[in-house]
């Protein structure tokens, strides 16, 4: 459980790099990288993410690639902004074996557990404070 709490805390310190800020009223940020936070090699992660992207594109036209990263740059992975319902996002996160996903609604960013039973969703603050463009 301590390991999961440590992961949960690390998920709360996050930045998203995108070509443009998402314009959807609510959306999920999902990835298929590193199932259950077990690090896979890059080809396996890329293959998993491509399959997730295809699945998301079949569900909605609102899919945008973003880089999810630690503020210090020590870790990053490709994720997708997807204009799907929160229930759909949760099912996808579980199916792709993700411990949690990010949810944005009314300009607020939430960290939502998917496979983690010992924690509850948490409001991280305004999404504008977590997104940047270059």
- Residue pLDDT, tens place only, 44-75: 999 999 999 999 999 999 899 999 999 999 99
Q: Which uninterrupted H or E stretch holds 15?
A: strand 15-17
pLDDT for the residue numbered 9: 92
pLDDT mean across residues, the chain: 94
Question: Would the pLDDT of 1 be above 50?
Answer: no
Q: Are 31 and 66 in contact (CB under 8 A)?
A: no
Q: Is 0.85 topped by the overall pTM?
A: yes
- Residue pLDDT, tens place only, 25-46: 999 999 999 999 999 999 999 9
Q: Are 69 and 75 in contact (CB under 8 A)?
A: yes
Q: What does 33-88 look like in DSSP terms, one character per residue?
A: SSGGGPPPPHHHHHHHHHHHHHHHHHH-S-EEEEEEE-TTSS-EEEEEEE---HHH
More confident residue, 53 or 23: 53
φ, ψ of residue 37 in degrees (nearest 5):
60, 25
């Amino acid at each position: 459980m301590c390991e999961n709490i440590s992961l949960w805390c690390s998920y709360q310190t996050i930045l998203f790099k995108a070509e443009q800020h998402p314009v959807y009223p609510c959306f999920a940020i999902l990835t298929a990288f590193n199932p259950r936070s077990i690090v896979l090699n890059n080809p396996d992660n890329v293959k998993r993410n491509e399959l997730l992207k295809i699945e998301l594109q079949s569900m909605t036209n609102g899919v945008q690639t973003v880089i999810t990263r630690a503020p210090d740059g020590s870790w990053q992975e490709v994720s997708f902004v997807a204009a799907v319902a929160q229930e759909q996002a949760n099912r996808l996160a579980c199916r792709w074996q993700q411990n949690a996903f990010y949810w944005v609604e009314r300009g607020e960013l939430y960290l939502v557990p998917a496979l983690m039973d010992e924690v509850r969703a948490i409001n991280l603050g305004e999404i504008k404070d977590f997104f940047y463009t270059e």
